[in-house]
Chain A
Amino acid sequence: MAKAELMDFDKALELFEPVLGFEVHVELNTKTKMFSDAPNFFGGEPNTNITPLDLGLPGSLPVVNEQAVRYSISLGLALGCSIAESSRFARKNYYYPDTPKNYQISQFDEPIAYDGNVEVELADGRKFQISIERAHMEEDAGKLTHIGGSTGRIQGADYSLVDYNRAGVPLVEIVTNMIFGAEKDAPELAKAYVSAIRDIVVSLGISDAKMERGNLRCDANISLSPRGSGKLGTRTETKNVNSLRSVERAIRYEIQRQAAILAKGGTILQETRHWHEDTGVTSAGRPKSDADDYRYFPEPDLLPVVPGAELIEQLRLALPEAPAIRRRRLKEAWSFTDLEFQDVLNSGLLVEVEETVAAGASAQSARKWWTGEIARLANIAGVDASTLVSPLHVSELIALIESGDLTDRLARQVLEGVVAGEGAPHEVVDARGLKVVSDDGALIAAIDEALAAQPDVLAKIRDGKVQAAGAVIGAVMKAMRGSADAARVRELVLERAAVTE
């Protein structure tokens, strides 16, 4: 594939206004599928969590999962949507082996939720309102694995293998209206929006919301409007964007790619584009064509969903607090400065920090580890920090530091072990023999005390005044009644100065 020409991002913004739109698919974590009572579980042994309905076998009939409807209404309400008095399902017809019925049951003209609004916060604290067109219920498709060909990708494959365990898993698709005015913040806004949706579904508890597992998937529509033309450009739809980081990168890439084509007098093809995480580019998928003529019609096998005002009010009352209010509460509860809190938000790690604090860690330690060392490792690996390590393990790691069993330096080694899949922190400590010698526990406590009494010492050391450590070493030797090794104390103090922040 020829490498696409890219225009400098700032130049592209001078010439064009980016117009965005998102379709985010959320897999619901119900116990069973949308229309069959097969377990909602995939990723294990292929084709074992399926019923005749999931294979589209003759005579099988769909029945709606009540819990999925409730979850969808809750999500609609959390998105600020109106809930349809009456809503119905429709068949979206297409021939592709991921859908054995040759249609997907979706919603078309009567979605369960419509006309919503999501507030998104940018890195500098500016707020942006994203208008939601609709949120509708549908079913997921099976998983295809393409075999053969030179690339292992869909193009040029010899044949494909299909696992239908995921077919029929309940989905809610959230569709935005066109988003204007994001300008140079378009890539960041895209990431902030998907992050906000993730926060909402996590707080509702209705999805596992792991992007890397496809629980949350974003299709990003983007077009460029030549400045002053007042005309919309042709859009592309980028799929396969499986991390918050990729959302931002994919939008930036498409802006640069489209701008380069348009500036040369070329035209943008309306097409699906596939994002490649490894190379950071998009490639052409299938063009929008006859295949997109879905001939929707009302699903004759299902009856309308009429939720009733009482159920809607009941679900409205049970909603968790709105994201903006939640952010304010957490910032206050954690006593974070604006900068510290923005740091967490911008890294998309609010949920992780919150869960780490819930597991017992102090908010400052949780923030420091997530936005520091863990984010650094994630950046090197090119993945989201949330995929590297669980909040529970981070909390355990912090507890080991605070009990004096680990220094920050040792903790970083333990973290590496946890990330490498060697087990929970205490298992890595045992396996790698990383524990601080028992004397250090008492030493560290004494050092902490001495540093608390002389809070400016660390800053001085960091400024290069290493002799400032002397005052702390003296205080520690006194507190330990001379039983401590002064050289070791000095080492620990300097280490502390080097790693804090």
Chain B
Amino acid sequence: MSESHPEPADGITADVVRHLAGLSRIALSDDEIGKLTGELGAILENVAKVNEVATPDVPATSHPIPLTNVYRPDVPGETLTLEQALAGAPEHDGSRFKVSAILGEEQ
């Protein structure tokens, strides 16, 4: 687990936005980072208003539907054909997806 990353909980700063953009593989200019820092901060401030009405005896909600244990039996169904599977691939070798090299040279 990482401890040193800038966290939104401490408020949205330019560093937080830069870090999130990196995680999301989105290239942002300094102008865009500045704009997003303000916008994301405003969004979080609005959401934080919920805290004014939430009391400690209200449990955190991760899902709005009060359902549990929605399961599927362990029975195989239809699969895609190879042609269908590869249909959206920008590049493939006839049976596998082709992606660009992931890591650079040995560190």
Contact = CB atoms under 8 A, between A and B. Distances in A.
Interface of A: 1, 30-32, 37-39, 45-52, 55, 57, 63-69, 86, 88, 93, 95-97, 144-146, 148-149, 154-164, 284, 286-288, 290, 292-293, 295, 298, 300, 302-307
Interface stretch (B33-41, B43-51, B63-71): B63-71
Interface string B86-107: 1010000101111111111111
Contacts of A46: 82, 95-96
Contacts of B80: 47, 50-52, 55
Across the A-B interface, the 6 shortest Cβ-Cβ residue pairs: A37-B77, A298-B62, A66-B71, A67-B74, A161-B96, A155-B106
Contacts of B98: 159-162
A159 B25 contact: no
Contacts of A67: 73-74
B62 A88 contact: yes
B2 A293 contact: yes
A50 B81 CA distance: 8
Contact of B79 (A49, A95, A144, A155): A49
Given A30-B74, A51-B77, A159-B99, A45 B82 contact: yes
6 contacts: A32-B72, A48-B79, A97-B99, A145-B96, A290-B5, A290-B23
Given A96-B102, A158-B101, A47 B95 contact: yes
B67 A303 contact: yes
A290 B15 CA distance: 13
Contacts, number: 155
B76 A38 contact: yes
A160 B78 contact: no
A93 B23 CA distance: 9
A68 B72 CA distance: 10
B11 interface: no
A39 B103 contact: no
A293 B5 contact: yes
A96 B103 CA distance: 10
Contacts of A161: 93, 96-99
Contact of A64 (B71, B78, B88): B71
> Interface majority SS on B: helix, strand, loop or mixed?
loop
Contacts of B107: 155, 284, 286-287
Contact of A47 (B19, B67, B97): B97
Contact of B86 (A47, A64, A148): A47
Nearest to A292: B2
B97 A154 contact: no
Contacts of B97: 47, 97, 161-162, 164
Nearest to B95: A46
Nearest to A87: B68
B102 A97 contact: yes
A300 B63 contact: yes
Given A57-B88, A303-B69, 5 more contacts: A46-B96, A65-B74, A95-B23, A163-B95, A303-B63
A55 B85 contact: yes
A401 B58 CA distance: 72
B65 to A, nearest CB: 7
B1 to A, nearest CB: 8
B101 to A, nearest CB: 5
B39 to A, nearest CB: 19
Contacts of A86: 68
Nearest to B93: A161
A91 B79 CA distance: 24
A154 B1 CA distance: 24
Contacts of A290: 2, 5, 19, 22-23
A27 to B, nearest CB: 15
Contact of A306 (B2, B69, B85): B69
Contacts of B25: 95
A286 B107 CA distance: 8
Contact of B71 (A1, A49, A63, A88): A63
B72 A66 contact: yes
